[in-house]
Chain A
Amino acid sequence: MKYLHLIWAALFRSKTRTFLTLLSVITAFLLFGMLDSVRVAFSSSANVAGTNRLITTSKLSITQSLPYRLQSQIESVPGVKKASYATWFGGIYQDPKNFFPNFAVGPGYMELYPEYVVPPEQLKAFYATQDGAIVGEQLAQKHGWKIGDTIPLQATIFPTKGSNNWNFKLVAIYRVSDNKRKGEENTLMFNWKYFDEANDYIKGQVHWYVIDVANADQSNQVAQAIDKLSDNSDHETKTQTEAAFNQAFFKQIGDIGMIVTSIMGAVFFTLLLLTGNTMAQAVRERIPELAVLKTIGFSNRSVLWLVLAEATLLVVLGGLIGLGLAALIMPGVSSASRGLIQLPSVPAATWGLGLALMLIIGVVVGLLPALRAMRLNIVDALAGR
């Protein structure tokens, strides 16, 4: 620690070079912070969601519907606290580009998601209003909707009285307290009963059930018991935890992990080379100085440590600034785009991995120059040979 000022002085011996190297380390870790947060969000977004919830869909395919009468049967399965259901609606608001999920939900659906905060009187109004709708705060802000507004949706699947025009009355707005999950505020939900009566195509059909289990440890048994209800019927079901359901869905969108890892590989390879070169240069330039240090009594080992510490300090400094920038930028982009682009904030896992990478890269790039400095022969170095 007492050598910190020495290391610091050595680092800023050539300001331009250190500054430029620092900047490239910063950009590399900025990119790392952003990409790795996305990767973590994709692989674990499921895990932050409730572990107590199960999702039941048709075994045949996700687009196949299930009879709504299953609800009472599911609720009587031991270990099930509550169950509700939903039917995908897939309506369009003004333009297909405005896509947001919208579906009809059964009674008690909102209560299954305690993390969705709704003022109690609004929730009551939602269940009481036949054509009432509930939307997330971000979605409402994005389109400038207020309580009491009428929201017209174009149906893509279910016409009503021969027309595709559906109108819903906005009576409730929910918020998600967890900042990481603000993306879930992009949904519109309305009463299933109204949907069931008003649509021309299907009666008494739902697309999925959400089930609250009393004890998360029993999820597997409960899921099997639920699937058993419809064994060998024409509507066999597939029940899995919400986490597994989400993960399977994300995985189908594309192998995000593979793409992110290969980009990061390219970035770090470049970074390694860049910083390594700078350190080699710095040591080469300072050979006489290092020789002087050795002459006045610094041991070989402490010279090794000095150079190694310098390299590590440079990388850690740049890395921390880069990750910090990523942590600042990502929520900024999310809020500036008003939820259009959802970027997660930098999670602890990314900070940890980033820190480990900084130390490793620091040591790797510093090692060769440090060894060179350690092996320096004082007489040769002073003579400039």
Chain B
Amino acid sequence: MSRTRKWLGNTGVLLALVAGLVVWVMLPWFAVLALVIALALWLAFTRSGRLTLEAARIGISSLPQRWGASSVIVVGIAGVVGVLVAMLAMGAGFESTLKQTGNDSTAIILRGGSQAETNSVITRDQVPLVSALAGIARGADGRPAISAELSQVVNMVTRADHTDANAQLRGVGDAAWALRPQVKIVEGRRFEPGKRELIIGQGARKQYVDQQFNDLKPGTQIELANQVWTVVGFFASGDSHDSELWADVETLGSTYRRSAYQSITVKLDGKDGFNKLKAAMAADPRLKLDVDTTQHYYAKQSENLSRFLKVLGIVIGAIMAVGAVFGALNTMYAAVAGRAREIATMRAIGFRGLPVVVAVMLETMLLALIGGLIGGLIAWAVFNGYSVSTLGNNFSQVMFQFKVSPELLWNGIKWALGIGLVGGLFPALRAARLPVTEALRAA
């Protein structure tokens, strides 16, 4: 009978725990803060709270004697949080690299239905038609601020293992500089129109070497499409252009026998410039083109991969968390069993169930918090700014960096405390249910 009751009780606790965890994961920071303050007030100003504090102090002061066992909780949780934060940071880094590339004051125009620059074709006779449309801002020279560009995938030699990788070679004209003020030359100079000169983004510079496997530097010569190109400079933009090579659009077009352009980037005129442009484009039957703000265009490109990385990170993190929970349970059960006499004595001299339960939980949560902090710190120290590359939407390499943001660290801490909660609750309940007389009698 009492077995069934205990079993029912445990199941009830388990259900409450699952519900609690779901709420906990969704809790915003201010609610967590309120919770912590409420707990602190309870600890400081009520009788049972003060008893809890005393009980917890006894437990925590004996922690150094059980360092080996306690470190299981700390290291286990640090592992979970480290892996979780690192995986999420990878997704966040990719997302932010692509998102920064776009903004809501410029728009990109592609052939209808083409989704990405590589697939798009915009014929030369369409360019003047586009520049005459409403909604396009004018540049300093009074002409419409539009930049017709080419995007060619070329093979470059990777630094890592000297194999070929797809790099994006963008052909641009003068207007591109004004439309992308974030692109700055950091070494050398801009290419000159009409010459076979290249400038290379800082991400691409790290990723590739020349065909003799030497570092890229101003003056390096690279053979592309049977023609020799000279590297004249390097640029930095802090976004996905960093992975690109830039050259003069007309020279690139003639080298690759491209008579048409692939995309047009325009500066939008004021807030409703985009709507005006879209309406004007739809009204012209000669222009079967898609127009999208660059912000939306680049954000869309990161959507799939960053969602995939997020799901992967959470699944792996969750499996590891389950393992860490078992580790924490093990340790805390052992701790409770080892201190059975001590706990029974405390209960005998008047400590009630609640203070004993909360004290054991506090102890576990403290260890979990330390573990979470260590894991987050390691992930931050090792992975923040770590560069990786992947194939982007244009069938070419996009370099990005892991981004360990405070938000991700906060998430990691929340996971750590969640694991601590689960790992501490059942041992705490056992401590409170310990039959006092038996525990006292047992050696």
Contacts and interface: CB of A to CB of B under 8 A. Distances in A.
B79 A270 contact: yes
A69 B132 CA distance: 43
Contacts of B295: none
Given A156-B116, A263-B83, A248 B164 contact: yes
Minimum-distance CB pairs A-B, first 8: A27-B323, A270-B79, A24-B326, A61-B153, A164-B113, A157-B119, A20-B330, A24-B323
Interface in B127-159: 152-155
Interface in A248-280: 248, 251-255, 259, 262-263, 266-267, 269-271, 273-274, 277-278, 280
Interface string B88-130: 0010000000000000000000001111101101000000000
Contacts of A254: 388-390
A80 interface: no
A175 interface: no
A62 interface: yes
Contact of A156 (B119, B163, B166, B391): B119
Contacts of A92: 113, 115
Given A23-B326, A252-B390, A31 B320 contact: yes
Given A252-B390, A277-B72, A24 B113 contact: no
A267 B324 CA distance: 10
A60 B155 contact: yes
B119 A90 contact: yes
A270 B324 contact: yes
A193 interface: no
A147 to B, nearest CB: 28
A96 interface: yes
Contacts of A273: 71-72, 75-76
Nearest to B383: A262
B39 interface: no
Contacts of B90: 259
27 contacts: A17-B330, A23-B323, A24-B323, A24-B324, A31-B320, A31-B323, A60-B224, A61-B152, A62-B166, A63-B395, A92-B113, A155-B113, A164-B113, A201-B121, A238-B164, A248-B163, A251-B163, A253-B390, A254-B390, A266-B82, A267-B320, A270-B79, A270-B324, A273-B75, A273-B76, A274-B72, A281-B334
A217 interface: no
Interface string B387-399: 0111100010100
A374 to B, nearest CB: 20
Give the interface centre of B224, B257, B391 by most chain A CB atoms within 10 Å: B391
A31 B316 contact: yes
A269 B79 contact: yes
B319 A31 contact: yes
Contacts of A27: 319-320, 322-323, 326
* Contact-size category for A: 35 or more
A375 B80 CA distance: 36
A30 interface: yes
Contacts of B116: 156
B320 A17 contact: no
A21 B83 CA distance: 21
Nearest to A16: B333
A88 to B, nearest CB: 10
B312 to A, nearest CB: 9
Contacts of A121: none
Contacts of B330: 16-17, 20-21, 24, 274, 277-278
Nearest to A27: B323
Given A155-B113, A156-B119, 20 more contacts: A21-B326, A60-B154, A61-B155, A96-B115, A156-B113, A156-B115, A201-B121, A252-B166, A254-B390, A259-B90, A262-B86, A263-B83, A263-B87, A266-B79, A267-B83, A269-B79, A270-B79, A270-B80, A273-B72, A278-B330
Instruction: Give the dominant DSSP class at A's interface.
Output: helix
A139 B329 CA distance: 45
A72 to B, nearest CB: 24
A259 B69 CA distance: 29
Contacts of A232: 226
Contacts of B327: 20, 24, 270, 274
Contacts of A238: 164
Contacts of A96: 115
Interface of B: 68-69, 71-72, 75-76, 79-80, 82-83, 86-87, 90, 112-116, 118-119, 121, 152-155, 161, 163-166, 224-226, 256-257, 288, 304, 316, 319-320, 322-324, 326-327, 329-331, 333-334, 388-391, 395, 397
A60 B326 contact: no
B97 to A, nearest CB: 14
A216 B35 CA distance: 68
A236 interface: yes
Most chain A beta-carbon contacts within 10 A, residue among B75, B112, B113, B163: B113
A16 B330 CA distance: 8
Contact of A252 (B121, B334, B391): B391
A133 interface: no
Contacts of A31: 316, 319-320, 323
A21 B333 CA distance: 12
Interface in A265-322: 266-267, 269-271, 273-274, 277-278, 280-281
A28 interface: yes
A81 interface: no
A178 interface: no
Given A156-B114, A248-B164, A28 B323 contact: yes
A259 B153 CA distance: 27
A180 interface: no
A156 to B, nearest CB: 4
B207 to A, nearest CB: 11
Contacts of B288: 162
A181 interface: no
Given A273-B72, A277-B72, A157 B114 contact: yes
A154 interface: yes
A274 B323 CA distance: 10
B227 to A, nearest CB: 11
Interface in A1-35: 16-17, 20-21, 23-24, 27-28, 30-31, 35
Contacts of A30: 319
B168 to A, nearest CB: 10
A59 interface: yes
B6 to A, nearest CB: 14
A154 B111 CA distance: 13
B113 A154 contact: yes
- Of B71, B76, B118, B326, chain A has the most CB atoms within 10 Å of the CB of B326
B226 A236 contact: yes
Contact of B323 (A60, A271, A277): A271
A60 B119 contact: no
Contacts of A62: 153, 155, 166, 395
Nearest to A60: B225
A113 B204 CA distance: 37
Nearest to B113: A164
Contacts of A251: 161, 163
